[in-house]
Structure 1
Amino acid sequence: MTSPSPVSFYRQPLTMNPRRALTRLVAVFAMGGLALTSIPVSAQDNSDARIRKLESEVRALQRRVFPGSDGRFFEPEITPGEAATRTTGAASTTAVTDILARLDALEGQIQRLTSQTEVNTNALSLLDTRLAALEVTTVAAGAETGVGAGTPAATQNNMSAMTGGASSTPAASAPAAAATGPSATRLAAVQTIAKPQTDDPADDEYSYGFRLWEAKFYPEAQQQLTMFVEKYPSHWRATYGRNLLGRAYLDDGKPGEAAPWFLRNYQADKSAARSGDSLLFLGETMIAMDDTSRACIALAEFGDTYPALATGRLQSQYEAARKRVTCN
């Protein structure tokens, strides 16, 4: 006998015996419960596999939909920085290399321009010195012949610029002797002066000029020291060379040609080794040119700027110069 289906059961009239109807209802639900408990046991494993598959597909979908670094969904396999490096690494390297190359080129150009500027500055300085010496010589010669007596010498202008005031025109130095060729005896004597040969050619040139000056070969010393200061203007001996060149002219009886070198050495670097010496010699040069006003200015400047020299190494020379002139 087949059990009635729930549908047919509910469709039966309610005139059935209640006890019998309840028994049938319990039987129907019992059969349904057995069917429901037997089905999930076989389908549960399949459902778990499908859920795991869905979860993996969702994670894959998240990687496409959310490519950012939001940790709520998944741990990113490639960070944004790494991705940018992988995609633009070659281009960035090329750009940086190009910038560095251009900076190297600019630095090279700046170095060349700086070198050329220094060369031009030294050339202009030497040209100014030559012009100053030429003007002083021209004025000295004009004072003897009566030509150009009203033109101030370059040394006077430089002193005015240094002290901020004007002064009278200095007397011209004695005319130079007529240029004559050196005698054989003099040439032989000059050749006995040995020129040093060391690892410093600039110092050798200065030392040779010093030896010529020390032996009182003043014209030869003037020529040698002029060559040295023009060829090596930045050498540490340059301050010695300019000062000694002024002394070579002064000792040769040419104060008008000595003054520009003393003034230039003082103005080039007031802290140099021989700048104080040059200022004191400039005062003595002005005394030799009978320019009392400028001599006093130079001596006063020396005493104020170099008190250690005025009371030390150059004290006797400074006091002797002050005794030769009366200053207000």
Structure 2
Amino acid sequence: MPLSAQSSGDEARLRKLESEVRALQRTVFPGGDGRYFEPQITGTPSAGGVNTSPSTTAVTDILIRLDAMEAQIAALTSQTEENSNAILQLTNRLVALETTPGAGVAGAGGAVSAGTPTDISSPTGTGTATTASSTPVPATSTVATGPTAERLAAVQQIAKPQTDDAADDEYSYGYRLWNAGFYPEAQQQLTMFVEKYPTHWRATYGRNLLGRAYLDDGKAQEAAPWFLKNYSTGKTDARAPDSLLYLGEAMIALNDTSRACIALAEFGDEYPALASGRLGDQYQRNLDKVDCN
């Protein structure tokens, strides 16, 4: 589809998104009987393998800046995971101090015991844990920033598959976390999966589901780059159509009608069978939300 010139309003919105990402960077970088959820996958990989040739369509041209935002968001995700694990370890030390009779302040600086839980925790995203201050922070405030005991227990109930396909296990575990509503934990797990296994035949499912984990968590800005990347990686991949449709949905959530209409129009042109079949209802709902010329 031919590209139309972008309005100054579109450029202003995109610049605002980029400035918000940079502001977030400055904040983050200040100096097994669990339930079984059927994976979002059916069938087997296509004989042709994964198409890794990038697409040069109108969507990729108009949303080119999102690629740069994706790299920034990936770095933020990595730092957030490290901060979350540090908070979890501090929480366990404080709990040990409160429950151990006669424990002194010196004990708080010791090493974490071998039994410290290592399950993925919910990121705080505030960066306050690393802010220098001459005033001691009350223990109760620190504990409040970490995941609750109830949430940790609930996450631990989600069983991780153990098969002879490690990549499949990692994706399926991320799917189970997402399906159970643990979106931050799913984001961390799926990010690890797509970065570690970028050429696995389930990578297209992982990138698409990672975008959905952000979108369902109310983070359309973080979701859009993953949808765009999955569609651009290979238009014939299993979840490329879904990602293009969800890209339009993310643009709607960001009140970017122009780009939402471009994504939806390209979806209708590229995947007419899906637009009237498996994804027809979702496609029509998204069309009803915007006024496209």
Give the TM-score taking structure 1 as reference length. 0.49
Do the aligned residues in 2 keep the contact of 1:282 with 1:295 (CA within 8 Å)?
A: yes
| Aligned-residue offset at 1:178 | 4.1
Of Structure 1 and Structure 2, which has the larger fraction of its residues in helix? 1
Give the TM-score taking structure 2 as reference length. 0.55
Cα deviation, 1:266-311, whole Å, max 9, x if unaligned, reads 0000000000000000000000000000000000000000111101
Closer, same or farther in 2 for the Cα pair 1:310/1:201, shift >3 Å?
Answer: same
Partner of 1:227: 192
1:239 aligns with 2:180: no
1:203 aligns with 2:172: no
1:184 aligns with 2:149: yes
How does 1:96-245 map onto structure 2 within 5 Å? Answer: 139-140=19-20, 162=59, 164=61, 178=126, 180-245=145-210
Cα deviation, 1:179-224, whole Å, max 9, x if unaligned, reads 7311111000000000001111100000000000000100000000
How does 1:12-91 map onto structure 2 within 5 Å? Answer: none
Choose from 239, 257, 274 the match for 1:274: 239
Closer, same or farther in 2 for the Cα pair 1:315/1:227, shift >3 Å?
Answer: same
Task: Name whichever of 291-300 and 176-185 sits farther off.
Answer: 176-185
Do the aligned residues in 2 keep the contact of 1:136 with 1:257 (CA within 8 Å)?
A: no
| Aligned-residue offset at 1:160 | 9.0
Closer, same or farther in 2 for the Cα pair 1:235/1:142, shift >3 Å?
Answer: closer
Partner of 2:280: 315
CA RMSD of aligned residues (A): 2.8
- SS across alignment from 1:290: coil
Do the aligned residues in 1 keep the contact of 2:268 with 2:275 (CA within 8 Å)?
A: yes
Closer, same or farther in 2 for the Cα pair 1:247/1:159, shift >3 Å?
Answer: farther
| Aligned-residue offset at 1:139 | 2.7
Cα deviation, 1:84-110, whole Å, max 9, x if unaligned, reads xxxxxxxxxxxxxxxxxxxxxxxxxxx
| Aligned-residue offset at 1:265 | 0.1
Gaps of 5+ in 1: 1-134, 145-157, 170-175
Choose from 284, 291, 302 the match for 2:267: 302
Count how many residue pairs are aligned between Structure 1 and Structure 2.
174
**Identity among equivalent pairs (%):** 68
Closer, same or farther in 2 for the Cα pair 1:198/1:324, shift >3 Å?
Answer: same
Cα deviation, 1:23-51, whole Å, max 9, x if unaligned, reads xxxxxxxxxxxxxxxxxxxxxxxxxxxxx
Do the aligned residues in 2 keep the contact of 1:136 with 1:256 (CA within 8 Å)?
A: no
Distance 2:281 2:220 in 1: 21
Letter in 1 for 2:59: M
Partner of 1:153: none
Pick 1 or 2: higher relative contact order, CA cutoff 8 A, min separation 6: 2
Letter in 2 for 1:162: V
Distance 2:171 2:16 in 1: 25
Distance 1:136 1:188 in 2: 39
Gaps of 5+ in 2: 1-14, 25-54, 67-123, 128-144
| Aligned-residue offset at 1:162 | 3.2
